Structure 1
Amino acid sequence: MNLARIIIQIGLPLLFVAFVAMEVVVIPLVGSKERRLRRALVKAYILITTILFLLTFPEVLREPIIYNITGVFETGIFFKIDLLNFPLLILAGMLWLVIGYFSREDINYIFYTVTYIATIGTLLAGDLLSFFLFFEIMTFASYALMVYHRGDEQLEAGFVYIYMGIIGGLMILSGILMLSAYTATFEWTTLAVRFSELGYIKYMIAFFLIVGFGIKAGMAPFHFWMPKVYDGAPIAVIALSSGVLIKVGAYGILKVLSVTFSVDATQGLQFYPKLWEVSENIGFVVIWLGILTMVVGVFMALQQASTKKMLAYHSVSQMGYIIMGAGVAAYLGYIGPMGFVGSMYHMLNHSLFKVLLFMVAGVVYYQTGETNMYKMGSLWRKMPITAALCLIAALGITGMPLFNGYASKTVLHHAIEEAFLYGHPSFEYAEWIFTVVSAGTVCSFIKFFYFIFLRKNKDNETLTIEDPKTMNIPMGILAAFIIFFGVAPNWLMDTALIPAAMAFSYDPEFISNYLIDMNFWNWKDLSGMIIVYALGLGMFLIGMKFHLFHLKLPSWANAERYIYSPVHTVCEKFPDFCVQRYEKPIIFGDTLIYAILLSVILAMLVISRVFV
């Protein structure tokens, strides 16, 4: 048994048992130091787990590592580490450590750890049933983490979060049960041959799975929960959600499209167009859902005054890029690796710069007590390190060359161009929208940086605030990764993403020609970013001049009105209806019957007494 197998089959289970034993037996005995020891224990557990995962990488490069547990759910469950989930496993561990070190809030470290374990379990799940189980544990544990302080804002945010989480979970469960009923399997496996023999039901399965995962990922029109939740939730929870948890939803979409509706390359069937028909049709829809999500997110972000809400809508918009890439991968089938790699790459990059941006918003709030960017300004003099770190994150999300967002957005831009080149002509418009949305992102973060740090505000110039050194350290770690992946954009692709694409049904020759040693520094891509930044600056100047950053959507355009509100109303009103319609009559009826029976008995007793 090699090192990787020992780690998965012995090391990780023993580490978990040791952690639980410390939590249950040792920590309750330490008295006043309980909180500090628990915090250190959780960080140590996450750090060692992440290191153990890192040590498995040489083996994962050769073949996936599979660990079976028999006797569970009768058929057993199994866990799998492969090149698709490996980067997310490492990312999750790193962000949990960084956010835990950053946070000044009183985090409930039990739920913090349970959420981490559930997230890792979701990523490792080798079958749909265990995936759903861990996915739901992750949802409820993160809900508990969110409402731990039990403030009004936290409870309201948690209320929306859990409602949408339950709706998404039920959709996923419906898709899983239908998939099992028609294919007799719960495993992540290629089912294109079986789907080719089914009728409309295959699209029903796709609908339930994609919508369920899309709700968790913040896909339009199910995105509205993110700004509502993020505006009231603690910064640490928001950072976790945007950095990792919503990525699990995107991971589910990517895995469904790249595995379930794909063709098994080992069967030599990947070039049969008929077998890719389902994948192509679903991919077409998902591309446009991704485009819609990008547009809605960036437009709404431009209208926000709250830093939390603005960053929440940008999480929606950036998830649109990821969903679009997954759609391209499905739409183009065996020549779709550009979409697959771009989606995975942007998933990782978005986590880095968005967590850093939320940390910046958190630092500013802790120092000033303010989330309204229009009331800020002149903070770069007081907080120069925070301002510099914010600028790095802003350059990352806007796609500036030499920063990480440029690399993944370039791959995704090539992907949508290929969808137009090899597919439907409507994707030419999608490519134009891609450019405009990227310019809108530039405009939005010019506004973000200007109003918080550059704009003169005499009220803030007198504040006695400074850079919080302990909080700047984890922020600096994320900024270093943003710059590293920007300066060396091929490193992550060559190390993990391209090998992951090679493990799927994509054409190896296509990968070799277009992805291996990809040149990111060509004039076409660089000049494209010059155009994007020029458009973004123009949008900002026009928006400022004509006060366009305060527009409001009409009420009929609010997706919450058609999705969340009806569900909320039903869940609120239905129990009351049942009480009014059935329970009270039953209670009153029972009372009446009881009164009649009692009267009859009393009457009989009186009569018998009289006659006796």
Structure 2
Amino acid sequence: MDYQNCLLLILLLPFISAFLGYIIGKKNENYRDVLNIISTGIELVFVSMLFNKATHGGIDVFIPDIMGIGLYLKLDVFRYIFVWITSFVWFLISIYSNQYLIRYKNRNRYYAFFMLTLGSTIGIFLSENLLNLFTFFEIMSFTSYILVIHDEDKYAHEAGRSYLSMAVACGLVLLLGLFILYDYTATLNITQLPKAMEGLGNIRYLVSVFFIIGFGVKAAMFPLHIWLPKAHPAAPTPASAILSGILVKAGVFGIIITVNIMMESDMTLSIIIIVLGFINMFVGGFLAMFQRNVKRILAYSSMSQIGYIFVGIGLVGILGDHKAFAVYGTLYHIINHALFKVLLFLIAGIVYMVLHDLSINIVRGFGKHKKRLRLLFIVGMFAITGIPGFNGFISKNLIHEALIEAMHIYHNPWLTFANVIFTISSAFTVAYLLKIFVSLFIEQNEKYTGQYKKYIKKRAILPMVILSIVIIYIGIRPYKIFNMLKGVLPLFDVSHDITPHFYSFEIIKGTIITTLLGVVIYIGFIKRYLWKAMDNGEKIYVNPSLKWPSLEKNIYKPLIKITFESSSLVFHIIDKAVITVVKRITDFMKKISEMEIGTGKHREQFKQRMNSKAVVLASKTDEINGYVEHEVSSISDIMLRVRGNLNSLTYSIFIFAIMLIVALVVMVF
């Protein structure tokens, strides 16, 4: 088997399918749908076939003369985790989309960009060169933007603007980091960078911060998460599922590359990532409890769950020789989050597909008599809350064990406080999932008695059943995943392996306490303060957080406006100074060109004495005057061009200033 050609096929197949599908879809949409399912299925098969090779030596492909420095692809066991879960989820969502989008407009455009997004995502995970990775990263931003605005209504376009503006701005920050890195190291190959960065001094921290900002926006890292709660409700559910389950992992992948590989788990960066991780966990879970739209709840839930992964990434850095729990937990939760979050989004999509609404005040009671849908939701809910027997229980407890180990090593009160935040954030997860479950599947609503069953087709249920089976299987048999993850340990410099005991009394007790605390928060806070009676006696959920200050409206937009106005004033002064200099130089040169050579009296005397040469001299004088005038004109043109170039430079500096200020704000807060 030619593994290199197989790797290229994995990368190119989605792009080829996107263009073929678009052409075929113009004539026959059924053939296009079949093509997409077959293409994603072939993708999954070929990725699965590469498992043994990826875990035993890996695959490298280098194609010169692409992007200036060549296209460098690599598949090892670390990258394989991301590539396999991406191809697996995409295949299931392709089947699901066939039912979900049946009444949507612009389906042909959607599927084309759906496949292009798959190709660019695979490209990110396979890239061994950071310039290649950046290129695929930006392609993914633009192709997924089309998915976000697919409905083309006012809300979708507003969400798209937030998504694209954050992606482009932070992409520029990432590009700036690449420029600095290449200038100092003369390489962008990931395997060469750890050694190359050792002698950079503090400049490596500047590069790392730029990288964390650039990747952090896609990973929904606080405070760069503002696009997430807008984009998920706006996008069609299949797009929301890949945004939450897969595309955020592209940002996570970049942060792992930056912190754990390039910077070799630097202590300072690891502490920063841990702090940001706990903020993500707490803020995401807290805000999720207030929301009334099911997809918005799940969006903030994704922010919270990514926080667990950030904490794991940071713990890898601070635990030194005891990092095995953190490595296993982080990578395991990357897989688990993709599975249970996609499942929950697909269930929400079933509700929206039937009712065209996801407000729990409107859809409550919809699943009261839908046993299969309720059972599937229970699987997703138990997985994300970490109930024993489900996959989330394994990864969350691995990360928690790593945190406890850090507490024993450092005896730092901040780590004890972090453990409290971990428990409270996990309880928030129980509370907001109970809010959805009780509203959707327990409350009685006679208008949803069961007459909608005919709209729920088997091809929409099948992907959710498969996801549920996988969730339970790897929850009961976690060592199947452990055996795959062992190949990653050398990359993270893990000196010794572990054999964890998941179902000990202490771990089960901790899970029970967290679950009960979540139930208390649901009853004592959500049901008491967020479930209000109206004047007609009907009770509905309210969202007081809508009146709270907004990062986007109250901080980012005013900050950008102030920056723009102050920068405009400064550059207006610069423009006026340039104009004044150009005008004075022009006037001076004109005066030179208009100067007379001698007075009239001397000229007549000169003509009388040298009559024969006067004509020649006069002719030469005219030529000199013409030449001077021509040069003055040329100088004026040059200065005007200089002014234009300065204006272009001005705007470039202005863009850089915005990026720098955003970076400083992120570093400060």
Report the count of equivalent residues. Answer: 556
The answer for the alignment partner of 1:128 in structure 2 is: 130
Q: From the superposition, tell whether residues 286 and 16 of structure 1 become closer, same or farther in structure 2 (CA, over 3 Å).
A: closer
Give CA-to-partner distance per residue, 1:208-255, whole Å, 9 cap, x none.
Answer: 111211111111111121111212221111111001101110111112
* Farther off after superposition, 104-113 or 417-426: 417-426
8 Å CA contact 2:147–2:235 kept in 1: the answer is no
Structure 1, unmatched stretches of 5+, are 263-275, 587-612
1:456 to 444, 454, 457: 444
Q: From the superposition, tell whether residues 491 and 102 of structure 1 become closer, same or farther in structure 2 (CA, over 3 Å).
A: same
Q: For 1:360-439, list aligned pairs within 5 A.
A: 360-423=347-410, 425=412, 426-439=414-427
Structure 2, unmatched stretches of 5+, are 532-541, 580-669
Q: CA RMSD in A?
A: 2.9
The answer for the alignment partner of 1:63 in structure 2 is: 57
CA distance in 2, matches of 1:314, 1:4: 38
Give CA-to-partner distance per residue, 1:310-356, whole Å, 9 cap, x none.
Answer: 11100100010111111111223443232222111111111111111
How many Å apart are 1:261 and its aligned residue? Answer: 0.6
8 Å CA contact 1:382–1:467 kept in 2: the answer is no
How many Å apart are 1:20 and its aligned residue? Answer: 7.3
1:483 to 472, 479, 488: 472
TM-score of the aligned structures, taking structure 2 as reference length: 0.77
Give CA-to-partner distance per residue, 1:450-506, whole Å, 9 cap, x none.
Answer: 011101234444865567132111111111111111111121111x21211233322
The answer for the alignment partner of 2:75 in structure 1 is: 81
Q: For 1:130-145, list aligned pairs within 5 A.
A: 130-145=132-147
8 Å CA contact 2:18–2:115 kept in 1: the answer is no
The answer for the alignment partner of 1:560 in structure 2 is: 552
Q: Percent identity?
A: 30
CA distance in 2, matches of 1:563, 1:180: 33
2:523 to 524, 532, 541: 541
SS in 2 for 1:240: helix
CA distance in 1, matches of 2:19, 2:254: 33
8 Å CA contact 1:332–1:423 kept in 2: the answer is no
2:330 to 315, 333, 343: 343
Q: From the superposition, tell whether residues 180 and 102 of structure 1 become closer, same or farther in structure 2 (CA, over 3 Å).
A: same
8 Å CA contact 1:282–1:331 kept in 2: the answer is no
How many Å apart are 1:100 and its aligned residue? Answer: 1.9
The answer for the alignment partner of 2:232 in structure 1 is: 230
Q: From the superposition, tell whether residues 19 and 361 of structure 1 become closer, same or farther in structure 2 (CA, over 3 Å).
A: closer
* Farther off after superposition, 518-527 or 349-358: 518-527
1:327 to 303, 311, 314: 314
2:32 to 28, 38, 47: 38
Counterpart amino acid of residue 88 in structure 1: F
Counterpart amino acid of residue 513 in structure 2: I
Q: From the superposition, tell whether residues 17 and 283 of structure 1 become closer, same or farther in structure 2 (CA, over 3 Å).
A: closer
SS in 1 for 2:333: helix
8 Å CA contact 1:215–1:222 kept in 2: the answer is yes
Q: From the superposition, tell whether residues 196 and 503 of structure 1 become closer, same or farther in structure 2 (CA, over 3 Å).
A: closer
CA distance in 2, matches of 1:300, 1:119: 29
The answer for the alignment partner of 1:96 in structure 2 is: 90
Q: In the alignment, does 2:504 pair up with 1:522?
A: yes
Q: From the superposition, tell whether residues 337 and 205 of structure 1 become closer, same or farther in structure 2 (CA, over 3 Å).
A: farther
The answer for the alignment partner of 1:608 in structure 2 is: none
CA distance in 2, matches of 1:178, 1:313: 34
CA distance in 2, matches of 1:145, 1:230: 10
1:207 to 206, 209, 221: 209
How many Å apart are 1:420 and its aligned residue? Answer: 2.1
Counterpart amino acid of residue 80 in structure 1: K
Q: From the superposition, tell whether residues 518 and 190 of structure 1 become closer, same or farther in structure 2 (CA, over 3 Å).
A: farther
* Farther off after superposition, 523-532 or 129-138: 523-532
Q: From the superposition, tell whether residues 467 and 402 of structure 1 become closer, same or farther in structure 2 (CA, over 3 Å).
A: farther
How many Å apart are 1:423 and its aligned residue? Answer: 3.5
Counterpart amino acid of residue 272 in structure 2: V
CA distance in 2, matches of 1:451, 1:140: 36
Q: From the superposition, tell whether residues 437 and 21 of structure 1 become closer, same or farther in structure 2 (CA, over 3 Å).
A: closer
8 Å CA contact 1:383–1:466 kept in 2: the answer is no
The answer for the alignment partner of 2:6 in structure 1 is: 7
SS in 1 for 2:77: coil
Q: For 1:176-325, list aligned pairs within 5 A.
A: 176-189=178-191, 191=193, 194-262=196-264, 279-325=266-312
